[in-house]
Amino acid sequence: MPGQGDVAERYEAYRRGFAIPDGKVDAVFRAAIAACRERTLAHVALPAGESFTLEYVKDKPWSGYNWYKGNFTSVIQVNTDLPIYIDRALDLACHEGYPGHHVYNALIEEQLVRGRGWIEWSVYPLFSPQSLIAEGTANFGIAVAFPEAERLAFERDVLFPLAGLDPAQAARYHEVQRLVGRLSHAGNEAARRYLDGTWSRETAIGWLENHALMGPDRAAQRLRFFDTYRSYVINYNLGEDLVRDYVNGQGGDEQHPARRWEVFLDLLRQPKLPSALAGAAR
């Protein structure tokens, strides 16, 4: 990181240069969503009439949320409480939309509720094993739709210019974000000790700042998420690990993109328990 001193502070200072200006957020997000949808449609026929509404909200404990409304429609909300960085556009477009939650819920309705008459699948129990797979596929779907080299090229050539950012900085920023992503499990430890009552709010926030490289405002928002959703936090990174290992174990590694899509989409269409994925991955 440029500068000297505390790494977390230097990272925050560096990252501020990659925030999407307020007036450009919508254009960047719509471009990202369109690209995610196009890549998803190349591998799966979505139900006729599927669509979603994009909204911008404030005062939420999360950065993005998909509210599935039935009839193959969703409302996708983006929280604008904090600056939105350029990498979050593809992250949220894929995770909440294509091939993430919107596609997952639409295929469940098409394949299970309407196709098989399994009406119980029209109810989604959020705090259940289903969410480990749902969040895991939504997170891993980012890499399925946009392998690293293709993601870098799209962000550099399309999203950076739309946001008014310097495309020449895209490669370095992409590499920094890849490395910071390896720290995500530090958030699980903060949640565990905070929710167990062994850490105070201040201690947990300090841990997130020092070990997950979150700024103070973002760390405080993460504590709001812990307070609201508690152990749900593990579904994101642990779920992604589980799904990645399963897909790779079924021959869907990066060198076989067609097989990767095939195995990934099978997870969206067919109900499975996390234990089945873990066993198959081994």
Residue 108 region by backbone torsions, left for phi larger than 0, else alpha for psi between -120 and 50, else beta: alpha
Asked if the model's pLDDT at residue 282 lies above 60, the reply is no
The pTM assigned to this predicted structure is 0.94
Name the burial class of residue 48, with classes exposed (0-12), middle (13-18) and buried (19+) by CB atoms within 10 angstroms of its CB. exposed
Question: What pLDDT is recorded for position 22?
Answer: 93
pLDDT above 70 (res 119): yes
29-46: average pLDDT:
96
Q: Which residues contact 168 (CB under 8 A, 6 or more apart)?
A: none
The strand pairing partners of 102, in sequence order, are none
Q: Label residues 124-134 b or e (16+ Cβ within 10 Å = b).
A: eeeeeebbbbb
What tens digit of pLDDT does each residue of 205-253 get? Answer: 999 999 999 999 999 999 999 999 999 999 999 999 999 999 999 999 9
Ramachandran sector of residue 214 (left: φ over 0; alpha: ψ -120 to 50; beta: rest): beta
In a 13 Å sphere around the CA of 189, the CA atoms on its Cβ side amount to 12
**What three-state secondary structure class fits 53?**
strand
User: Do 233 and 225 form a contact (C-beta atoms < 8 A)?
Assistant: yes
**5-14, 21-30, 93-102, 111-120: least confidently modelled range:** 5-14
Structure tokens at 195: 């929710």
Give per-residue pLDDT as tens, 92-103.
999 999 999 999
What is residue 55's three-state secondary structure?
strand
